[in-house]
Structure 1
Amino acid sequence: MINLFSFKEATNRSTTGGDPNKPTSKTTPAVLRVTKDLNELQLPGTCKVIHPDPNNLLDFNLTFTPDEGLYKGGQFIFSFRVPVEYPHSPPKVKCTQKIYHPNIDLEGNVCLNILREDWKPVLTINAVIYGLIFLFVEPNADDPLNKEAAEVLKNNKRTFEQNVAQSMRGGNVGSVSFDRVLTHHR
């Protein structure tokens, strides 16, 4: 009979050079897949991936600076938290700033179908990033998280545009204060 505890200890010693206090570097399927996804990224110049902790590939930030549409001139930061079940579960993506957008609520949660019911293991981090870009080019009032912004977009596009501009400057829309996201004066 194999003593699994002894086997695990022997394996641990061999991967740490015999030092029981040295942490093991275990490569999980999620880390392997994220590494592949990140190596194959084809980002436009408006996006940049930043790893706050280079030793943790499963948590990173995406900085996106739209160069077209209503959100042009803003800089938006999204945190990506990739679960250990990835690619069988989608990454958790949140906007780190409070912004006025029908598909992003005031807590930063993102409404993107491929992050929910339409997720499939064949999808990649690249697909999620392009989905986020598309939300800024074509905000979707038909599948909102911020219902108030969606109603304004549906009923009065001009007011919606004014609200986006006001919020990006760090102003208020109604009683809600938004984070300044403009990279230059607009």
Structure 2
Amino acid sequence: MGKTDYFLCGGLLLVDSRRSCEKPLLVFSPGEMINLFKAKEKQRAIVENANGKAPVKKQSAGELRLHKDISELTLPKTCSISFPNGKDDLMNFEVTIQPDEGFYLGGKFAFTCQVSPIYPHEAPKVKCKTKVYHPNIDLEGNVCLNILREDWKPVLNINTVIYGLFHLFTHPNYEDPLNHDAAAVLRDNPKLFESDVRIAMAGGYVGQTFFPCCM
């Protein structure tokens, strides 16, 4: 058979099949053209299924936005991101922060991040995997960060979240605590707070609580 030619003219898709069957030129409107492409995609999926291939999963709006965010990441050397489930699951990833200043200098702290299919209309769910003595992170790993709660907006992105987590270690905030004991020590005796942080990061007890080494 001969070759069929496709070309656009004035917003219409023209199909010239005369080289194969000597029929007149066919003209498709934009709406018909879309339907044609959809039919071809459906036919391709049927063929793939018949050949034992799994159909390609359609990405959610959240996944598409997350792909964009990841491609535009501009992280400092103190922060890194990884995908433990591989490239097929970008909606669940880990962030590692290694502060180069402040009370937590020399520590290494890991967070899990779960992104909703309706992202960015819902903030990622973030938990701290590393047990840490911190006024804004409790012993169960819950994180108190305003941009993950009431201050979240769809214009924010993963880059913003990671920088926010990094900021917690350079500027811990005793005014908005999850660990109230740590917040009180930071407020009333910063020198003692610094000592407690060093003990916890090296692997030791602060009060009755043991903290594994994270240095």
Give the alignment's TM-score, normalised by structure 1.
0.88
Structure 1 partner of 2:161 = 128
Structure showing greater radius of gyration is: 2
- 1:170 CA drift (Å): 1.2
Moved over 4 A (4+): 10-13
Gaps of 5+ in 2: 1-37
Residue 48 of structure 2 aligns to a residue in which SS?
coil
Seen in structure 2, the aligned counterparts of structure 1 residues 124 and 157 have a Cα distance that, compared at 3 Å, is same
Q: CA RMSD in A?
A: 1.9
- 1:141 CA drift (Å): 0.2
Structure 1 partner of 2:101 = 68
Any idea what the Cα deviations from partners look like across 1:110-138, whole Å, max 9, x if unmatched?
10000000000000000011111111111
Letter of the 2:75 partner, please give it: L
Letter of the 2:49 partner, please give it: G
Gaps of 5+ in 1: 1-6
Aligned length, in residue pairs: 174
Seen in structure 2, the aligned counterparts of structure 1 residues 23 and 177 have a Cα distance that, compared at 3 Å, is farther
Seen in structure 2, the aligned counterparts of structure 1 residues 174 and 39 have a Cα distance that, compared at 3 Å, is same
- C-alpha separation between the residues in 1 aligned to 2:74 and 2:99? 16
Seen in structure 2, the aligned counterparts of structure 1 residues 119 and 12 have a Cα distance that, compared at 3 Å, is farther
**Relative CO higher for 1 or 2, CA cutoff 8 Å, sep ≥ 6?**
1
Indicate the percent of aligned positions where both proteins have the same amino acid. Answer: 51
Seen in structure 2, the aligned counterparts of structure 1 residues 39 and 148 have a Cα distance that, compared at 3 Å, is same
CA contact (8 A) 2:204 2:210 kept: yes
- 1:12 CA drift (Å): 9.4
Structure 1 partner of 2:25 = none
For the pair 1:172 / 2:175, whether they are aligned, the reply is: no
- C-alpha separation between the residues in 2 aligned to 1:121 and 1:165? 37
- 1:11 CA drift (Å): 4.3
Any idea what the Cα deviations from partners look like across 1:140-159, whole Å, max 9, x if unmatched?
00001111100111111111
Structure 2 partner of 1:22 = 54
Aligned counterpart for 2:74 among listed residues 42, 65, 80: 42
CA contact (8 A) 1:168 1:179 kept: yes
- 1:179 CA drift (Å): 2.1
Structure 1 partner of 2:17 = none
Give the alignment's TM-score, normalised by structure 2.
0.76
Letter of the 2:67 partner, please give it: T
